[in-house]
């Protein structure tokens, strides 16, 4: 899933914002997005995705995709999370998002305090999803994508409440795990799931 708009100006100055969602949940992939905004057409209201309502996020995600110079998604699967650990899987998802961009940015800004290994200069910005529009845009696109995927998992695995808690370790989710057991989309390396598996 990528998008590139007409952009006749020189490309070397392009900067991509990158963010990921889904480090904390017990289930589902970790999803990252990379966005190169057109400074002349930044949708109004872009901020940290966590500060927006689901409906507002969905509307902004569509506006960002339409207005951006380019955007792309990357992910790491549940299996990769269990094999690598969640930090390395998150870095992998961000690498994949940047590499999927249809244009190569001159530099990349990433939310947080760690950078994935990339072929272009990369800067980590703590709180970047609230202060850097391109990172905030990436957080919105990634969040909307992952939420939609958890809605699908909710249909595939009824009773777990994925549509409500999006895989996070809520009381409802933990009770469902105890009652229904571990699914193929649960992260078996994560403590609560690992303990449940060892007890069976």
Residue 158 domain-assigned?
no
Residue 156 domain-assigned?
no
Task: Report residue 7's pLDDT band, with 50, 70 and 90 as the boundaries.
Answer: very low
Q: What pLDDT shows up at residue 187? A: 98
Task: Report residue 10's pLDDT band, with 50, 70 and 90 as the boundaries.
Answer: very low
Query: Is the pLDDT reported for residue 169 higher than 70?
Result: yes
Residue 198 domain-assigned?
no
Q: What's the average model confidence in pLDDT over 59-83?
A: 98
Task: Report residue 8's pLDDT band, with 50, 70 and 90 as the boundaries.
Answer: very low
Q: What's the average model confidence in pLDDT over 57-77?
A: 98
Residue 32 domain-assigned?
yes
Residue 172 domain-assigned?
no
Domain that holds residue 9: 2-149
Query: b/e per residue, 45-75, with b = 16+ CB within 10 A?
Result: ebbbbeebeeeebbbbbebbbebbbbbbbbb
Residue 21 domain-assigned?
yes
Residue 91 domain-assigned?
yes
Query: Is the pLDDT reported for residue 23 higher than 70?
Result: yes
Domains in the chain, number: 1
Residue 63 domain-assigned?
yes
Q: Which residue has the higher pLDDT, 59 or 1?
A: 59
Which CATH number covers residue 42?
3.30.420.10
pLDDT digits (tens, 9 = 90+) for 89-141: 999 999 999 999 999 999 999 999 999 999 999 999 999 999 999 999 999 99
Average pLDDT of the residues of the chain: 93
């Amino acid at each position: 899933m990528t998008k590139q708009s007409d952009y006749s100006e020189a490309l070397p100055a392009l900067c991509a914002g990158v963010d990921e969602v889904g480090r904390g949940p017990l289930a589902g992939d970790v999803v990252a997005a990379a966005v190169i905004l057109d400074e002349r057409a930044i949708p109004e209201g872009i901020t940290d995705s966590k500060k927006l309502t689901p409906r507002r996020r969905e509307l902004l995600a569509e506006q960002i995709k339409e207005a951006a110079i380019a955007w792309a998604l990357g992910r790491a699967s549940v299996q990769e999370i269990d094999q690598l650990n969640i930090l390395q899987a998150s870095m992998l998802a961000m690498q994949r998002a940047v590499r999927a961009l249809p244009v190569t940015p001159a530099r990349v800004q990433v939310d947080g305090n760690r950078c994935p290994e990339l072929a272009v200069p990369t800067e980590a910005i703590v709180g970047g999803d609230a202060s850097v529009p391109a990172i905030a845009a990436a957080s919105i696109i990634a969040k909307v994508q992952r939420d939609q995927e958890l809605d699908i998992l909710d249909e595939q695995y009824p009773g777990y409440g994925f549509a409500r808690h999006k895989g996070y370790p809520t009381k409802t989710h933990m009770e469902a795990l105890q009652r229904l057991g571990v699914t193929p989309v649960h992260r078996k390396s994560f403590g609560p799931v690992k303990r449940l598996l060892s007890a069976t």
